[in-house]
Amino acid sequence: TRLDWPMTEDRAVLRLNLISGLLDAVAYNVARKNTQLALYEVGRVFYQNQDPKTSLPTEENHIAFALSGEWTNKDWQGKAEKVDFYHAKGVVDNLVATLSLQDAVTFEKTNEMKDMHPGRTATIYLGEEKIGFVGQVHPSVAKAYDIPETYVAELNLEALLASDAGKL
């Protein structure tokens, strides 16, 4: 959906995801030699399902994060451990467990997302409803942003919070 009066020309449309902004932040930090990154954002995304001239877009609250660099640093006791898919999935698992939804959430390997690595990406389901994804940014996308291997996830926060399993 295009805005009539955007604040800047590069922000002239409503965002469809939070990941692109997080990848911009990763690129900004990597360009300044900050390579150990764990960033997150909670915000609204917009989907236009009908004619944009006659109806407003659907708004959803999402939560997303990006991880890049090393999970643990090298020290006298051990070696450095790079961030991988299982670290990103572990962050999602921790969020889901905090909301008491660990029994309702499942992960399914996917190859359908063109901007994500086909062998290192999973779709996240809450029951039968698709609520997000977790995985590695495709190497060609990482190269376009000029960033190292980066793992991201984005979840529909409204769906998580509205779930009957998460209500106390």
61 class by beta-carbon count within 10 Å (0-12 exposed, 13-18 middle, 19+ buried): middle
Contact indicator for 1, 34 with CB cutoff of 8 Å: no
Contact indicator for 57, 148 with CB cutoff of 8 Å: no
Over residues 154-160, the mean pLDDT reads: 94
Residue 157, helix vs strand vs coil: helix
Contact indicator for 83, 90 with CB cutoff of 8 Å: no
Specify the pLDDT at position 163. 80
Which tens digit of pLDDT belongs to each residue from 144-156? 999 999 999 999 9
Contact indicator for 69, 35 with CB cutoff of 8 Å: yes
Instruction: Give the percent of the chain with pLDDT over 90.
Output: 66
Whole-model pTM: value is 0.85
The answer on pLDDT for 12 being more than 80 is no
Give the DSSP H/E element, type plus range, for residue 42. strand 37-47
